[in-house]
Chains A and B, each alone.
Chain A
């Protein structure tokens, strides 16, 4: 009996001691202090580095609107209205649960007020109401990134269509808490349709054509704000064997994109930039004002062409980009041409 008592006593003591420790441990689980971080923004086709932290943070984003003339095609310039000086605008990368303190500046040289609607924001106008910004001014608002996903942002100042048509759009990625699986290369690609008074290829500064925009007859359909933005020495680069992820957006204003990479199959497509993926996809739809995340492995070297598979706009309006993959050939997967010869004439097959 004594032994039992002793055992019981030690158990009770142990229990008591454990309880003592349990108290402070619980307190330690209470909300830790939140870091304040300056968001790293990038111009296309670059993407900010993946987020490694495992806790929410306060993220400060500083974005400036600049109106500027830039080339849209060979010999053709256009007066773009940009977020951060590029079309599409700077890529923003945050984590689900982050509190984002957003500062929007509108450069002194702008001729109009601008604002921003981020599709990642839950709140009136996606921020548009809070960021009505005159030239030479700065506005600020704060939002919580509650949903993961790849979201479009754009200007929503009346007349909205014109602001979007002039290039005022970009992407904001809200990573899920566990982050995205690691890949070797990430790229930022965003399609847009442009409407100019002059015909395709007409040189000089081309004004915006409202009539064509309303009729949805674009003059240029391009990736990353210009024809040739990803060709020649600006082609995207990768090595055979690397895994690649493309954050694909479509600013519109009007057209839907049938996004395809010639010679590649998408291993995974997070359709519409959401949380679930489809596998083994050749061509995926990217809605106007929407996005998609595509992932694939560059198995063999070569030039792989990014296109909108509504094919006439690719060859006549500019929606073409190149992914140059270097490295060792793999003839088990692809040989390129093995032979070419004549064959004797006869009645054609099928006659």
Chain B
């Protein structure tokens, strides 16, 4: 029996070793999940960026000490969600990624989520310091750290399909959702 197990294991190992790269090769060339980045969620758990693959997602980047645009980003995303049917809502993930790893600890992220009464299921992720720029680049979020600790950044909601391809973008200009963005979200969620 032991011999059988060893044989099976030996046979399985190479398969496992190859399986992981094979999945990565399946990822479409234009997926944002090709970026190798490590993040932590607001419960302190490690969440590799590429592990977000698998569900349609609205992503944005912000930071907790931002009092101008960031509340608007959150309100805008909430408003998008509100206009979805329960079935659509169940299919869509919303993820907020921090531009400020130094200060956006899991605790700070939890506080912000609570303060803005974000719905259950939203993910708040803080990347490792060196990984912020790469994520921002594929999402086309431009930002600059200023001396006083504030961050100049563009405010967008990015719609990703389950494979991580950018399907739509909405420049956040207020709390009301952009109608054409909403149409794109619904269209994506209607796909099989």
- The reply, when asked whether chain A contacts chain B directly with Cβ atoms under 8 A, is no
